[in-house]
Amino acid sequence: MLRIGLLGGMSWESSAEYYRLINQLVKERLGGFHSADLLLRSVDFASIETLQSEGRWDEAGAVLADAAVELVRGGAELLILCTNTMHKVAPAIEATVDVPFINLIHAAGATVAGRGMGTIGLLGTAFTMEQDFYRDGLAAHGLTVLTPAAADRTVVHRIIYEELCVGIVSDSSRAEYVRIIQDLSERGAEGVVLGCTEIELLISQEHTNVPLFPTTAIHAEAAVSAALA
């Protein structure tokens, strides 16, 4: 089993989900008392959020690249970045380390394409929904990507930052997400990518008939598969 380095803290609530899911998957596959061989480097999200909001992506990439180097020095043999939005700076991380980096966007794209879908909805932060890096990553797998209307993108982003990132999970916000997912389906989306790790704290497949692709779970499975290969 390879040692997995988790680059997390963006937010810590979703990084805790990564820790739980990866350990559960290792136990399921190996049985007995097995658990994952993990290192976690958790950053202070307040400083990262400031860099996001000010558009200082190069600086954010440098911070995360340095943290990735620390993980490798600590013995990590493969890395995952426990956040969707910050995959915008994934190239800076990959260029800095010499261990495999399991890219969340490509794992999600491969999973969706593997289900035979051609058009997919995308929910996430405003950065994820409105910038090219995530849509282009999914498009590389032959997918057409739909995002919510502008007003609904604002709703999705607000709930992530004002509620989910600080541990607030509300029924009213869940209802808003279900409505937005249904709208994407009516516009032609065959399924919806939950392109923010915190969204999975709010909504799951039981809440809608539209097929959902939870990227935290997809990414965790890809990491475990690589670690056990």
- The domains of the chain are located at 4-103+217-228, 105-214
Q: Is 48's pLDDT higher than 90? A: yes
Exactly one of 83, 85, 197, 216 is catalytic; name it.
Answer: 83
Q: What span, in angstroms and rounded, lies between the C-alpha atoms of 97 and 107? A: 20
99: its two tokens: 């261990």
Question: May I ask the CATH architecture of the domain 4-103+217-228?
Answer: 3-Layer(aba) Sandwich (3.40)
Fold of 105-214: Rossmann fold (3.40.50)
Structure tokens at 4: 């997995």
- For the full predicted model, state whether its pTM sits above 0.85: yes
Buried b (16+ CB within 10 A) or exposed e, 38-53: bbbbbbebeebbebbe
Tokens of 202: 């709010």
Residue 71's φ and ψ, nearest 5 degrees, are -65, -45
Mean pLDDT confidence for 103-108: 96
- Set 82, 125, 196, 215: catalytic member: 196
pLDDT tier, 149 (very low <50, low <70, confident <90, very high otherwise): very high
CA distances from 185 to 56, 190, 193 (A): 34, 6, 12
User: Is the Cβ–Cβ distance between 173 and 202 less than 8 Å?
Assistant: yes
DSSP state of 2: P
The reply to whether 105-214 shares the fold of 4-103+217-228 is yes
Sole residue written with tokens 């061989």: 37
Pick from 62, 111, 67: nearest CA to 91: 62
**Known catalytic residue at 196:** yes
Q: What letter would DSSP give residue 187?
A: T
Could you please report the per-residue DSSP string of 65-78? HHHHHHHHHTT-SE
Q: How many residues does the chain have?
A: 229
Closest to 82 (Cα-Cα) out of 51, 48, 57? 48
Predicted confidence (pLDDT) at residue 25 exceeds the cutoff of 90: yes
Give residue 155's pLDDT band: very low, low, confident or very high (50, 70, 90). very high
Q: What is the DSSP code (8-state) at residue 191?
A: S
The radius of gyration of the chain from alpha carbons, rounded to an integer in Å, stands at 17
Q: Please check the confidence at residue 65 and state whether its pLDDT lies above 90.
A: yes
Percentage of residues in the chain having pLDDT higher than 70: 100
Please, are residues 192 and 181 in contact by the beta-carbon 8 Å criterion? yes
Q: What average pLDDT score do residues 108-131 get?
A: 95
